[in-house]
Amino acid sequence: SSADIGVTGMGVMGRNLARNLARHEHRVAIHNRTASKTEDVMDQFGDEGTFVPSESLEDFVSSLTPPRVAIVMVQAGAATDAVIDDLADLLDEGDIIVDAGNALFTDTRRREAALKERGLHFVGCGVSGGEEGALWGPSIMPGGSADSYKRLGPMLESISAHVDGEPCCTHVGEDGAGHFVKMVHNGIEYADMQVIGEAYDLLRRGLGLTPAEISEIFAEWNKGDLDSYLMEVSTEVLRQVDAETGKPLVDIIVDQAGQKGTGMWTVQTALDLAVPVTGIGEATFARGLSSAVVQRDAAADFEGIADEWNIADRDAFIEDVRQALYASKIIAYSQGFNEIQAAATEYGWDISLADMARIWRDGCIIRARFLGDVTKAYDKNPELPLLLADEYFYNAVKTALPHWRRVVSLAALHGVPAPVFSSSLSYYDGVRADRLPAALIQGQRDYFGAHTYKRVDKEGTFHTLWATEERGEVES
Ligand code: 6PG
């Protein structure tokens, strides 16, 4: 037993994590179901550090120094379950299994509970940053027991991204908390991508700009509040020219967005927790709409634009769109953090929202200057009921408001879909509203189902006897 830590699953993510660990002077056991993949890694990268390759899972386990730490980096679902089962049979009490894939947090909770009974630690661990991140410094979100973090944490922190010397890795909370937070990260990622998409669409249709021109505008935005990796990615994609046709690549790519399911999980879970994540929800539905080929075909000739675009002040419109993007982004994050907060209450996780923002400042896909400001907001007030209530963000949204309202109404008038821009504005107007039409909903529910209502002027639960002529009210 000579290795400090092991990785099974030598797909790109697994091998890159292993190489990152080796580069940081951890001795890394490596294994793959098909042994030739492990050999490939040794051939190509064997001199990057100390690797201990094994052909069998038995040898892999015996090459680990107890208490053993084995990272599983295989496909989520059945494959993960199978490897965990095999590993669990070979491990001893106190050993740690880490699932670094994108697992659904409820699966993680189930696995953690089952393995705990056998004396094993199970750590569901979010890893963000794609293939490059895994290799050079991802953002890492481990859940599981605090005890397991003592052994595992220092190794993960050493390979994570760092900001001002601080690792983008922390113990998120017990059992499934790490995978939960990674899931919300991905949901926010969907919203972040969609708001950039909406801005692009509006600039293109509103001003008739080319993708290359929009790329330049985004590059400018990327120097300010909107400075983020996803903005940088968008800049690169928009200026790419297709070699074959000479057209902008974005015009050649089929406009049907794919998804692997983490955004959908975020929305499904938010519904379970009764947290409105409208930004993430609309972003996920927008991907769904784009891929609904049959419906899009059937609707292709529907009546569209009401007014022709006629923007007099180009720069003012660009600023309007930038402000709408920024405000919608703030809303999406505010909602995403609310979902984490609600889950922490529901599942008894002690999650620091400030730390979540802190470990997302670098390494992950949503890394951005913005997350430094989110960190500050939750550092200042860990009990912040919504990010939007922080002075800095509230002022930003207040400044954005007239721009944002203009953009949303122009989008509607000109028939351009802007689902996240507009639903985020509705959320803002909803959450700040003095009175909501929910009162009428309650009345309707009471009318047809005797579901009762509360009154603004006294305690108790009431029902109106709608069917009687007097329509008197009774307390129930
Ligand atoms: C990350 C990414 C990563 C991956 C998503 C993309 O944090 O590194 O979020 O997890 O890119 O799976 O998800 P979709 O395929 O659903 O867009």
- The ipTM assigned to this model is 0.96
Ligand 1 atom closest to the Cα of residue 287 is 17
Told to judge if 189 belongs to the known catalytic residues of this protein, a careful annotator would answer yes
Which residues lie closer than 8 Å to 79 by C-beta, 6 or more apart? Answer: none
Q: Whose CA is nearest to atom 14 of ligand 1?
A: 259
For residues 136-158, give the mean pLDDT. 98
Q: Is 291 in the pocket of ligand 1 (CB under 6 A)?
A: no
Tokens (6 digits) for 292: 């609904």
**Is 130 annotated as a binding-site member?**
yes
Q: For residues 179 and 149, what is the distance between their CA atoms, to the nearest angstrom? A: 15
- pTM passes above 0.95: yes
Q: Is 364 in the pocket of ligand 1 (CB under 6 A)?
A: yes
Q: Is 189 in the pocket of ligand 1 (CB under 6 A)?
A: yes
Angle at Cα 285 formed by Cα 282 and Cα 291, nearest 5°?
145
Q: For residues 244 and 387, what is the distance between their CA atoms, to the nearest angstrom? A: 46
**Is 74 annotated as a binding-site member?**
yes
**Is 116 annotated as a binding-site member?**
no
Give the rounded percent of residues in the chain with a pLDDT score beyond 70.
100
Q: Is 372 in the pocket of ligand 1 (CB under 6 A)?
A: no
Q: For residues 396 and 409, what is the distance between their CA atoms, to the nearest angstrom? A: 20
Q: Is 191 in the pocket of ligand 1 (CB under 6 A)?
A: no
Asked whether the beta carbons of 352 and 367 are under 8 A apart, the reply is no
For residues 148-155, give the mean pLDDT. 98
Q: For residues 160 and 153, what is the distance between their CA atoms, to the nearest angstrom? A: 10
Ligand 1 atom closest to the Cα of residue 129 is 8
**Is 13 annotated as a binding-site member?**
yes
Asked whether the beta carbons of 53 and 47 are under 8 A apart, the reply is no
Told to judge if 182 belongs to the known catalytic residues of this protein, a careful annotator would answer yes
For residues 120-127, give the mean pLDDT. 98
Q: Is 331 in the pocket of ligand 1 (CB under 6 A)?
A: no
For residues 4-31, give the mean pLDDT. 98
For residues 472-476, give the mean pLDDT. 96
3-state secondary structure the chain: CCECEEEECCCHHHHHHHHHHHHCCCCEEEECCCHHHHHHHHHHHHHHCCEEEECCHHHHHHCECCCCEEEECCCCCHHHHHHHHHHHHHCCCCCEEEECCCCCHHHHHHHHHHHHHCCCEEEEEEEECHHHHHHHCCEEEECCCHHHHHHHHHHHHHHCCEECCEECECCCCCCCHHHHHHHHHHHHHHHHHHHHHHHHHHHHHHHCCCHHHHHHHHHHHCCCCCCEHHHHHHHHHHHCECCCCCCEHHHCCCCCCCCCCHHHHHHHHHHHHCCCCHHHHHHHHHHHHHHCHHHHHHHCCCCCCCCCCCCCCHHHHHHHHHHHHHHHHHHHHHHHHHHHHHHHHHHCCCCCHHHHHHHCCCCCCCCECHHHHHHHHHHHCCCCCCHHHCHHHHHHHHHHHHHHHHHHHHHHHCCCCCHHHHHHHHHHHHHCCCCCCHHHHHHHHHHHHCCCECCCCCCCCEEECCCCCCCCEEEC
pLDDT interval class at 305 (50, 70, 90)? confident
Q: For residues 372 and 163, what is the distance between their CA atoms, to the nearest angstrom? A: 10
Q: For residue 1, is pLDDT > 80?
A: no
pLDDT at 77: 87
Question: How many angstroms is it from 211 CA to the middle of ligand 1?
Answer: 24
Question: How many angstroms is it from 148 CA to the middle of ligand 1?
Answer: 26
**Type of residue at 326:** Y
pLDDT tens figures, 32-66: 999 999 999 999 999 999 999 999 999 999 999 99
Ligand 1 atom closest to the Cα of residue 190 is 17
Distance (Å) of CA 258 to CA 292, 360, 421, 430:
11, 24, 21, 31
Give the rounded percent of residues in the chain with a pLDDT score beyond 90.
98
Q: Is 129 in the pocket of ligand 1 (CB under 6 A)?
A: yes
Q: Say what the alpha-carbon torsion angle 19, 22, 23, 24 is, to the nearest 10 degrees.
A: 130
Long-range contact pairs involving 212-217 (C-beta distance under 8 Å, separation at least 24): 212/238, 212/239, 212/248, 214/238, 215/239, 217/318
pLDDT interval class at 331 (50, 70, 90)? very high
pLDDT tens figures, 387-441: 999 999 999 999 999 999 999 999 999 999 999 999 999 999 999 999 999 999 9
Distance (Å) of CA 110 to CA 123, 124, 169, 385, 402:
12, 11, 24, 30, 48
**Is 260 annotated as a binding-site member?**
yes
Ligand 1 atom closest to the Cα of residue 182 is 7
Among 112, 157, 182, 339, the active-site one is 182
pLDDT tens figures, 51-107: 999 999 999 999 999 999 999 999 888 999 999 999 999 999 999 999 999 999 999
Distance (Å) of CA 23 to CA 72, 100, 337, 430:
19, 19, 34, 51
pLDDT interval class at 220 (50, 70, 90)? very high
Residues 101-118: b if buried by 16+ CB within 10 A, e if exposed: bbbbbebbbebbeebeee
pLDDT at 307: 74
